[in-house]
Amino acid sequence: MENTIFHRTEEQSPGKRISANLYNLVIGLVLGWGFLVNWVMVKTIPIESIATINPFMFFIGYFASCMFGVTLYSKSEVPLISFIGYNFVVVPFGLIINMVVHRYNPDLVLNAIMVTGVVTLVMMVLGSLFPKFFEKIVGALTIALIAVIIVEMIAAFIFHVQYGIIDWIVIVIFCGYIGYDWGRANSIPKTLDNAVDSAASLYMDIINLFLRILRVMGRRQ
């Protein structure tokens, strides 16, 4: 999950430089747009309409859209094109979120959102204070995430069981990614395109963190 976005040099970041405040504001606005789109999708798309989609075709479309979006914003040097790519990630994530949150009480979902927000802010602060630490552990995070995905798939599809501890492990992993991505986002050249791309990477970290926190809280309830 090592992201080439966060290794961009001055030569790899064409475009006008902007202030740190504007750069972080753009990141926040782009993140806010993604969350708003997801909220609208949850409110307006009936879960029944999603359930009618063939599961195999749904996941093929999900991964295809996400991969296309990631490729688009990662390769583009134009902020608008990167933003379009970002939306190709936001929309399929929104469908997944829609399917998940309908299983839970709205109050529980709201609590999970608040917890995710607090954890995200804490990890961003830590990412700003200790960027070198997160750079050192990102390789271990990647290996751990791949291992967890494999174990979770084997448990679900072969043994038909779910291990609660896996959710906690994934929460820790994505907390680490948020710290790393935020720290690196503020160390690369500050351009509009880099702000959009950084927000896209942070968006996926935060949504994955939210979904796992929601599952843990739902299990406890």
Q: ∠ CA 32-36-39 to the nearest 5 degrees?
A: 140
Q: 6-10, 66-70, 106-110, 187-191: which has the minimum mean pLDDT?
A: 6-10
Q: Closest Cα to residue 18, out of 187, 197, 192?
A: 192
Q: Which of 8, 203, 208 is nearest to 86 (CA)?
A: 203
User: Which residues have C-beta within 8 Å of that of residue 81, sequence separation ≥ 6?
Assistant: 72, 73
Q: Please count the other Cβ atoms lying within 10 Å of the Cβ belonging to residue 58.
A: 17
How many domains, the chain? Answer: 1
Query: Is the pLDDT reported for residue 10 higher than 80?
Result: no
- Write the burial class of residue 211 (CB in 10 Å: 0-12 exposed, 13-18 middle, 19+ buried): buried
Query: pLDDT (tens digit, 9 = 90+) per residue, 43-96?
Result: 999 999 998 999 999 999 999 999 999 999 999 889 999 999 999 999 999 999
Say whether pLDDT at 2 is over 70: no
pLDDT band at residue 190 under the 50/70/90 scheme:
very high
Residue 156 neighbours by CB distance under 10 Å: 13
pLDDT digit string, tens, across residues 154-174: 887 787 777 788 999 999 999
4 vs 124 pLDDT, higher one: 124
pLDDT in tens, 21-47: 999 999 999 999 999 999 999 999 999
Query: What's the CA gap between 198 and 86, in Å, rounded?
Result: 10
Confidence check: pLDDT of 195 > 80: yes
Domain that holds residue 123: 4-220
| pTM exceeding 0.85 | yes
Place of tokens 């202030």: 19
Q: How far apart are CA 80 and CA 86, in angstroms?
A: 10
Give the Cα separation of 174 and 180 in Å (integer). 9
pLDDT single digits (tens) 126-162: 999 999 999 999 999 999 999 998 998 888 778 777 7
